[in-house]
Structure 1
């Protein structure tokens, strides 16, 4: 039996709303979620937030070049314009059910619209004690984090976006950071994108995830899954076409077995 979540289908439709050069993209599992378990509503924004999770991750996705990993997920925003001196802000929360010896990690990276690396706004990595960010063996943070410390709130994290690993904990190091603000000053006029990634490391067991919210540039919202940004008229048309495709999938019945649609 194959299970298709309505949330995943809607997300797929939403990510196909713009031209290839400007569209939001997702590899693996990305989406929006309401506060649940240990992941509360983000400060100032919400109640919903966006997320990426290694649950349903893809091999090679969500990785930092030269660091590696096994499977993961990554989400990249549509391109946005910024001027030198503009403030880029967002909140993040790193959540992991993996612990000692299996150093899963997450990150946010600023890229040029052409995909060239500009800065790592934060990196975070599983560790039993001490700050998770910047993650050991990972690039340094180019942004200012508030609070400046990021020790894990230890214990088995309760978060639906970890799937079957919600409530699981493999050894010391599992838990969540709580919401942390990242603030970065743009250095030059240009067009940029933001990439958020999370990766399992060494193995594919005990999933990890990254929640993020409140992406703004010079006080203006950068659209993400679950954000309050209003799509352009052409975007609405593409969304309607996507919803029509979803309806077709929901009506279709295979000759053998059955497809279940759930409301995630």
Structure 2
């Protein structure tokens, strides 16, 4: 009888201990929607494969996005002719000097000619100061979307370099009524582009993603994002080896039961 109790107690304790050390997370950040604690100004959301925007390679069953469709005024990088747009900001995450930050993006635009909408990604410190301008993608009638005309050079390394556009009116629901439309040369989508940035200084960081209309409010653009990794792990999940709070109680119960079982065995 006491052997059975000890076996059961040991199993519970072991289960609690194993639970403390989660496996490396897959790139499924947006599978349950926009993560808790992330903030959106304007229009943000998550989608599965939708029209021309497939799931991200190695990503989850959904990706995140920002769109100028149903965006708001007052956002952007302050370059001069922004009208409406959206910004998505992450919760803080930790990174060490030398860690590689990786993610995927897909810039999608129905605009063209001189109506040069743009999207961007920035790495901020935990006081919201810019640490790195990761990339800026811009609607352009000829050439690559990155670096966009008038935007800073990217601090991230991109693959493919320049994020060339795949021309044509992009079918994508987050563009609202502009899905499938093309104003002029420059419309299309980049498909998924890999961005990699090496963190220079250990600390806590925040990611910011945005997209804006330029000059007018017509012919929408958007940015899809997914596949976030820092040093090969999901930066928004508890790191390997750090206890998950919900499992602490389970571990405590298991260890208590194991201790009681061993004590009773010694008293027999």
Give the whole-Å Cα distance in 1 for the aligned partners of 2:142 and 2:60. Answer: 30
Partner of 2:108: 95
CA separation in 2, counterparts of 1:147 and 1:129?
A: 17
Q: Report which stretch shifted further, 200-209 or 46-55.
A: 46-55
SS in 2 for 1:73: strand
**SS of 2:214's equivalent?**
coil
Match of 1:228 in 2: none
Cα shift at 1:221: 1.3
Give the corresponding residue for 1:37: 51
Q: Deviations over 1:32-75 (max 9, x none)?
A: 100111001111112311000001101012x1144551100000
Deviations 1:237-259 (A, max 9, x none): xxxxxxxxxxxxxxxxxxxxxxx
Q: In structure 2, do the counterparts of structure 1 residues 138 and 232 end up closer, same or farther at CA, with 3 Å as the change threshold?
A: farther
Q: Give 5+ residue unaligned stretches, structure 1.
A: 1-9, 18-22, 225-230, 234-264
Unaligned runs of 5+ in 2: 1-31, 238-243, 247-268
Matches within 5 A, 1:197-208: 197-208=210-221
The secondary structure found in structure 1 opposite 2:176 is helix
> TM-score scaled to structure 1, two decimals?
0.75
Task: Say which SS state the counterpart of residue 194 (structure 2) adopts.
Answer: strand
Residue equivalent to 1:236: none
Shift of 1:114: 0.5
Aligned to 2:193: 180
The 8 Å contact of residues 129 and 151 in structure 1, kept in 2 or not, is answered as no
Q: TM-score with structure 2 length normalisation?
A: 0.74
Question: CA separation in 2, counterparts of 1:141 and 1:135?
Answer: 9
Flag the 1:204–1:223 CA change in 2: closer, same or farther, 3 A: farther
Residue 51 of structure 1: aligned partner:
65
Aligned partner of 1:219 in structure 2 is: 232
With over 3 angstroms needed to count, the CA separation of the structure-2 counterparts of 1:132 and 1:222, relative to structure 1, is: same
CA RMSD in angstroms, aligned pairs only = 1.8
Alignment match, 1:24: 38
Structure 2 distance, partners of 1:232, 1:68, is: 47
More helix as a share of residues: 2
Question: Per the alignment, in what secondary structure is the counterpart of residue 119 of structure 2?
Answer: strand
Q: In structure 2, what is the equivalent of residue 70 of structure 1?
A: 83
Larger radius of gyration: 2
Match of 2:93 in 1: 80
